[in-house]
Amino acid sequence: MNDTQADRLATRTFDTTAYAASSPTSGLAPATIRRREPRPTDVQLEVLFCGVCHSDLHQVRDEWHKNMPTTYPCVPGHEIVGRVVKAGSAVRRFREGDLAAVGCIVDSCRTCPSCQDGEEQFCEGPAMFTYNSPDRFVGGVTFGGYSKSVVVDEAFALQISDRLGLAGTAPLLCAGITTYSPLRRANVGKTSKVGVVGLGGLGHMGVKLANALGARVVVFTTSPRKAEDAIRLGAHDVVVSTEPAEMRKQAKSFDFILDTVSAAHDLNGYLPMLKRDGTLTMVGAPEAPLPIEVMNLVLARRRFTGSLIGGIRETQEMLDFCLEHGLTADVEVIPIQKIDEAYERLVRNDVKYRFVIDMASLG
Ligand code: NAP
Ligand code: ZN
Ligand code: ZN
């Protein structure tokens, strides 16, 4: 018997309610799912708020079929804030009644080089992601935060405060860390000029965080109506990316560009904007391959990279940074019954700037 089989046999479960998709086109509907009873190192949270990430929509609609096919039923949600309702006997960092948060990762092997480096998202185990990952305790796949309760090992639970509001804190668990991590890796600071491409859930956090790190921030948007918001959120300048003359003016001026766009778009408009040795990092995850004009890299030793969320230690660092700087997401709180409508609005680019589900609406 291997470890996984042993884990599964030893696991007791309970039923809880959630919203699940049963196919790429079904939309989401109420469902009953199984969670494990907390083990000694686990905490069980009552979910209070859960952010709606564009990744939830990609996954529910099986838009990442090639790399991460969706198993149905699918319960998305990885921007989770909640209250601890049960803490296992060996839990040290949380007590019943404490607030806690869960992001995109719920377990990992803890011994591989990535885990040792605190980069559990790249665990060779592989990492157990919050939804649509094989669940080694319960079987089937993991279920996310569009649910009444979640159970997680305390090593993957984050400490949060309600000082800045819980609804606005939820999106930090994905949109926050996904933008913070590459900004920090690029050493963004007071002397940096940073571009943020796409002003959605990730993009608006990227703007706030780059501003808080002291950078000069320029937003690139396809939506001229967002220009005023971009400045309010902390940008120093806004470029409408569908205006070629405006785009050309930005040539060779950026140290770092963070691309958060969820759909296919032309990267060759952005690469020439980097200075020598500048970096463009993709966090947006369109499924279709995007062509790169290699000369745009070669002629100025530019770098084109990707980044995936961030590890647990860095996620806690980001939450603490946001608390210190008074940063949360700009959110529209919705009841879970409006989730299909919210997805439609996300596709239409009609959200300012993150939907967050008030899980009390699940009843
Ligand atoms: P979002 O709120 O929908 O924002 C995406 C933004 O992209 C939109 O607001 C829009 O900004 C721009 N955009 C949309 N369609 C476009 C098009 N056809 N051409 C050019 N620009 C377009 O989504 P999100 O939640 O921020 O997520 C963004 C992407 O990041 C998704 O692909 C998601 O799966 C991915 N993601 C990756 C990670 C990671 O770890 N790497 C983590 C979370 C999410 P403007 O109106 O300003 O142009
Ligand atoms: Zn996400
Ligand atoms: Zn590992």
For residues 84 and 15, state if they share a domain: yes
Instruction: State whether the beta carbon of 20 lies less than 6 angstroms from ligand 1.
Output: no
Express each pLDDT in 134-176 by its tens digit. 999 999 999 999 999 999 999 999 999 999 999 999 999 999 9
Question: What is the CATH number for 336?
Answer: 3.90.180.10
For residues 188 and 276, state if they share a domain: yes
Range of the domain at 186: 175-306
Express each pLDDT in 91-110 by its tens digit. 999 999 999 999 999 999 99
Q: How far is the CA of 333 from the centre of ligand 2 (A)?
A: 17
Instruction: State whether the beta carbon of 61 lies less than 6 angstroms from ligand 1.
Output: no
For residues 186 and 164, state if they share a domain: no
Alpha-carbon span 312 to 320, nearest angstrom:
12
Instruction: Give helix then strand counts, H and E, for the chain.
Output: 11, 16
For residues 329 and 294, state if they share a domain: no
For residues 49 and 122, state if they share a domain: yes
Q: How far is the CA of 51 from the centre of ligand 2 (A)?
A: 8
Q: Of ligand 1's atoms, which has the minimum distance to the CA of residue 241?
A: 48
| SS3 of residue 112 by DSSP | coil
Candidate of 181, 207, 261 to mutate for ligand 1, largest count of ligand atoms within 8 Å of Cβ: 261
Residue 178 has pLDDT above 90, yes or no: yes
Nearest ligand to the CA atom of 58:
1
Express each pLDDT in 239-286 by its tens digit. 999 999 999 999 999 999 999 999 999 999 999 999 999 999 999 999
Q: What confidence score (pLDDT) does residue 8 get?
A: 67
Report CA-CA distances (Å) from 330 to 37, 106, 202, 246: 34, 26, 11, 28
Q: Which of 281, 311, 342, 320 is nearest to 76 (CA)?
A: 342
Please spell the DSSP secondary structure of 120-166, one letter per residue: GGG-TTT-EESSSSB-TTTSSB---SSBSEEEEEGGG-B---STT-H
Instruction: State whether the beta carbon of 221 lies less than 6 angstroms from ligand 1.
Output: yes
Confidence class for position 363, pLDDT limits 50, 70, 90: confident
Alpha-carbon span 311 to 315, nearest angstrom:
6
* This prediction's pTM: 0.97
